């Protein structure tokens, strides 16, 4: 037992051998004179930065610096060290690998490689893919004009915007409603974890860089400012004041955890960039990994961003998102509401050039890389207005009697909406079933794809189109639809007088498709597992209802270890995936197989897909770097 509270020649502190927020090689930490360890972590007194110890106790500081170096050399990693000085004598209480932000993890790992202490592979393993998410958070737009209210300690980097709340319960409540909140507290305790987890950012008026709020926020990757002493927080009145300005619960603020600035209002944030050490780690990961990483993108802008993040193609372009744009929706509605083939054809003719432009932009942004375009998938009623809203409008028009033509149009629309309504739309008239009943829709889409391809080929741009048919459960569904696509491609080649190559594949997202994958493979050049629908149909859980209604009970009661829509249920759904891969390749050994459900960006699922022998994963643009690193981890742990 040693005592740091034996007078002014005693003290206690916590220090890191490198900066845990940035990774910079400098001793970083804080201490309190005449105090015990508890006083530092509790955030009751704001400690002094360790640099001051150099002036206050130069010999002790020197000795401490030497010990830091020795411990770090021994463990070959950043250390988090607790120490006490009792009457002028230094004692080391504890050392362990220090928790760090993603930015620090990357900097420390790459620096240690440069210092010859660890290998590139070890460096890659030192960065947790899930933690990279922190770096993919927005930061403050340097051009933004901001009104700085106060400045505190920059405890966890990243910028966040949200409504001010003063309790963890309220943060949780609003967070669950989808609101963005900043949790403001004098200090936090372990009782606040539930609210901290839901908050976009955390701001405290007391405590240092190793206070509870700072440590937890860094671990969660949540932007955080601590020890912002200018804030006068009144938790009961639900407000804080600073320099005569009062901020109440629900008011918007912006915090920048990288600089410690607290700002009034909603500042503009900008998307993250990849550079420096981050780029280096990802390049090392790319050398290691076997899985390719593609992106799910529906616009040229998303495609271009994903490419900057290292995407090696598009694994899923959902064409329905293009149909939803306000300038297209009326034409799409015309197509759906058509009462005969002629009317439908007129609407499709209008959609064709619009879709062609979309595809042209996407192919161009991804030039030289494969692009998988999925033909129309969702139930058609998703494009039509809501029946109740229509009914209200019809009643209003009937009562006013002012616009009989509009009334007739709305009544027709309501009839169609009712005709198209289904008891279980996710199991209803969607996916390839639409292609079977309305082949002209798929034909129009295929034509738009191939005309865009032909135009680009003429410009000398390399394109690798892959056309994907969704929700196939029977080879006889795929066979005729493949024919529609192939015939269209050949017709376009002929008309345009150019040659191009393309492939036609299918999504595997129904249990039946997994168990007869060999038969399906006969008609497919590639498979892409749609693990969102496959999870839905394997569990019999409705994707749209499970998460909101009962899944959290399943997680609380530990019936399921994890949300199966976020992390693949490897024991159930995963078995079907593995079977699908095996059967598919038994019929077609060269079959290219990927995944484009949400799981394609989840590190644990990526590990499973690696082990199952997939060729690629496809995920949202911001998860591409995470997937690149996770794929390298998978290879290092289970070499393929
Ligand atoms: C899937 O089902 O996993 C998939 C990618 O398709 P969507 O989410 O569009 O149904
Ligand atoms: Mg699907």
pLDDT tens digits, one per residue of 37-49: 888 777 778 889 9
Strands 245-248 and 89-97: unpaired
Q: Looking at ligand 1, which atom is closest to the CA of residue 318?
A: 9
pLDDT for 357 beyond 90: yes
Please tell me the number of the ligand nearest to residue 565's CA.
1
Mean pLDDT of 129-156: 85
Query: Any residues with CB less than 8 A from the CB of 42 and at least 6 apart, and which?
Result: 187, 207, 211, 212
Q: Are 100 and 126 in contact (CB under 8 A)?
A: no
Q: Which helix (H) or strand (E) holds 160?
A: strand 159-165
202 vs 161: CA distance, rounded Å: 11
Tokens (6 digits) for 476: 């006889």
Q: Looking at ligand 1, which atom is closest to the CA of residue 531?
A: 3
Q: What is the mean pLDDT of the chain?
A: 93
Of all protein residues, the one whose alpha carbon is nearest to atom 6 of ligand 1 is 530
In this predicted model, which residue has the larger pLDDT, 386 or 463?
A: 463
Task: State in Å: Cα 40 to ligand 1 middle.
Answer: 49
Residues annotated as catalytic (active site), given as ranges:
212, 596
Please tell me the number of the ligand nearest to residue 573's CA.
1
Q: Is 153 exposed, middle or buried (0-12, 13-18, 19+ CB in 10 A)?
A: buried
Could you read off the pLDDT of 476-487 as tens digits, one per residue? Answer: 999 999 999 999
Please tell me the number of the ligand nearest to residue 376's CA.
1
Q: Which residues sit with Cβ closer than 5 angstroms to ligand 2, an ion? A: 509, 530, 533
What's the pLDDT score for residue 113?
98
What's the pLDDT score for residue 182?
98
Of all protein residues, the one whose alpha carbon is nearest to atom 5 of ligand 1 is 597
Q: Are 371 and 450 in contact (CB under 8 A)?
A: no
Neighbour count for residue 298 (Cβ, 10 Å)? 20
59 vs 45: CA distance, rounded Å: 25
Could you read off the pLDDT of 187-213 as tens digits, one per residue? Answer: 998 788 889 999 999 999 998 776 788
3-state class of 137 per DSSP? coil
Q: Is 177 exposed, middle or buried (0-12, 13-18, 19+ CB in 10 A)?
A: exposed
Q: Is 384 exposed, middle or buried (0-12, 13-18, 19+ CB in 10 A)?
A: buried
Task: State in Å: Cα 3 to ligand 2 middle.
Answer: 63
Mean pLDDT of 53-60: 95
3-state class of 262 per DSSP? strand
Q: What is the DSSP letter of 622?
A: G
Task: State in Å: Cα 563 to ligand 2 middle.
Answer: 17
Q: Looking at ligand 1, which atom is closest to the CA of residue 296?
A: 5
pLDDT for 28 beyond 70: yes
Candidate from 316, 322, 373, 509 with most ligand 1 atoms within 8 A of CB, to mutate:
509
Please tell me the number of the ligand nearest to residue 617's CA.
1
Candidate from 433, 470, 614 with most ligand 1 atoms within 8 A of CB, to mutate:
470
Label each residue of 110-127 as H, E or C. HHHHHCCCCCHHHHHHHC
Of all protein residues, the one whose alpha carbon is nearest to atom 4 of ligand 1 is 530
- C-alpha dihedral sign at 187, 192, 193, 196: negative
What's the pLDDT score for residue 326?
77
The residue among 440, 442, 507 whose CA lies nearest residue 469 is: 507
Task: State in Å: Cα 596 to ligand 1 middle.
Answer: 7
Pocket residues: Cβ below 6 A from ligand 1: 316, 318, 377, 509, 530-533, 596-597
- Strand-pairing partners, residue 162, are 253
581 vs 315: CA distance, rounded Å: 17
624 vs 630: CA distance, rounded Å: 10
Could you read off the pLDDT of 548-564 as tens digits, one per residue? Answer: 789 889 999 999 999 99
Q: Looking at ligand 1, which atom is closest to the CA of residue 599?
A: 3
Label each residue of 319-367 as H, E or C. CHHHHCCCCCHHHHHHHHHCCCHHHHHHHHHHHHHHHHHHHHHHHHHCC
Q: Are 452 and 360 in contact (CB under 8 A)?
A: yes
264 vs 456: CA distance, rounded Å: 49
Could you read off the pLDDT of 228-286 as tens digits, one per residue? Answer: 999 999 999 999 999 999 999 999 999 999 889 999 999 999 878 788 999 999 999 99
Q: Which band of pLDDT confidence, cut at 50, 70 and 90, is reported for residue 218?
A: confident
Neighbour count for residue 176 (Cβ, 10 Å)? 11
What's the pLDDT score for residue 219?
65
Mean pLDDT of 579-600: 97
Tokens (6 digits) for 401: 């009697």
């Amino acid at each position: 037992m040693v005592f740091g509270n034996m007078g002014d020649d005693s003290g206690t502190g916590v220090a890191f051998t490198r900066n845990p927020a940035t990774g910079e090689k400098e001793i970083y930490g804080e201490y309190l004179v005449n105090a015990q360890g508890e006083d530092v972590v509790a955030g009751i007194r704001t400690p002094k930065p360790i640099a001051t110890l150099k002036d206050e106790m130069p010999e002790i500081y020197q000795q401490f610096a030497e010990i830091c170096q020795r411990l770090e050399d021994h463990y070959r990693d950043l250390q988090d060290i607790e120490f006490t000085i009792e009457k002028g004598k230094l004692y080391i209480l504890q050392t362990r690998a220090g928790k760090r932000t993603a930015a620090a993890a990357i900097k420390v790992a790459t620096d240690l490689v440069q210092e010859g202490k660890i290998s590139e592979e070890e460096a890659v393993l030192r960065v947790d893919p899930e933690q990279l998410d922190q770096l993919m958070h927005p930061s403050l737009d340097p051009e933004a004009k901001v009104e700085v209210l106060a400045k505190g300690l920059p405890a966890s980097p990243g910028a966040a915007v949200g409504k001010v709340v003063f309790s963890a319960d309220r943060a949780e409540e609003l967070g669950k409603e989808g609101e963005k909140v900043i949790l403001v507290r004098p200090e936090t305790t372990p009782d606040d974890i539930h609210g901290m987890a839901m908050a976009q950012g955390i701001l405290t008026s007391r405590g240092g860089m190793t206070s509870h709020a700072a440590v937890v926020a860094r671990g969660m990757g949540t932007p955080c400012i601590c020890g912002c002493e200018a804030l006068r927080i009144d938790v009961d009145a639900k407000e804080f004041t600073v320099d005569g300005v009062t901020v109440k619960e629900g008011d918007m603020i912006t915090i920048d955890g990288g600089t410690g600035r607290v700002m009034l209002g909603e500042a503009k944030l900008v998307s993250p960039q990849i550079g420096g050490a981050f780029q280096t780690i990802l390049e090392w990961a790319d050398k290691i990994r076997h899985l390719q990483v593609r992106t799910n993108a529906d616009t040229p802008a998303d495609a271009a961003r994903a490419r900057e993040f290292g995407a090696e193609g598009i694994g899923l372009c959902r064409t329905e998102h293009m149909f939803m744009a306000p300038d297209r929706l009326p034409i799409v509605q015309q197509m759906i509401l058509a009462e005969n083939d002629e009317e439908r054809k007129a609407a499709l003719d209008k959609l064709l050039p619009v879709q062609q432009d979309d595809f042209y932009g996407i192919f161009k942004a991804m030039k030289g890389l494969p692009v998988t375009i999925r033909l129309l998938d969702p139930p058609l009623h998703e494009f039509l207005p809501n029946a109740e809203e229509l009914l209200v409008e019809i009643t209003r028009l009937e009562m006013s009697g002012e616009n009989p033509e509009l009334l007739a149009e709305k009544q027709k629309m309501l009839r169609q909406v009712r005709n198209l309504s289904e008891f279980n739309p996710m199991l209803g008239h969607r996916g390839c079933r639409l292609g079977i009943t309305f082949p002209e829709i798929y034909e129009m889409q295929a034509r738009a794809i191939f005309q865009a391809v032909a135009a680009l080929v003429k410009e000398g741009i390399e394109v690798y189109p892959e056309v994907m048919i969704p929700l196939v459960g029977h080879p006889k569904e795929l066979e005729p639809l493949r024919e529609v696509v192939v015939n269209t491609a050949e017709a376009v080649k002929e008309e345009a007088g150019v040659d191009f190559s393309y492939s036609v594949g299918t999504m595997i997202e129904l249990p039946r498709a997994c168990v007869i994958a060999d038969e399906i493979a006969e008609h497919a050049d590639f498979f892409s597992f749609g693990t969102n629908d496959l999870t839905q149909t394997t569990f019999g859980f409705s994707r749209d209802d499970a998460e909101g209604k009962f899944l959290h009970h399943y997680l609380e009661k530990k019936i399921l270890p994890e949300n199966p829509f976020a992390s693949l249920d490897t024991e159930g759904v995963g078995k079907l995936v593995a079977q699908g891969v095996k059967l598919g390749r038994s019929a077609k050994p060269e079959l290219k197989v990927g995944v484009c459900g949400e799981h394609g960006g989840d590190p644990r699922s990526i590990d499973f897909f690696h082990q199952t022998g997939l060729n690629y994963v496809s995920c949202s643009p911001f998860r591409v770097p995470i997937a690149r690193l996770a794929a390298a981890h998978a290879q290092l742990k289970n070499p393929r």
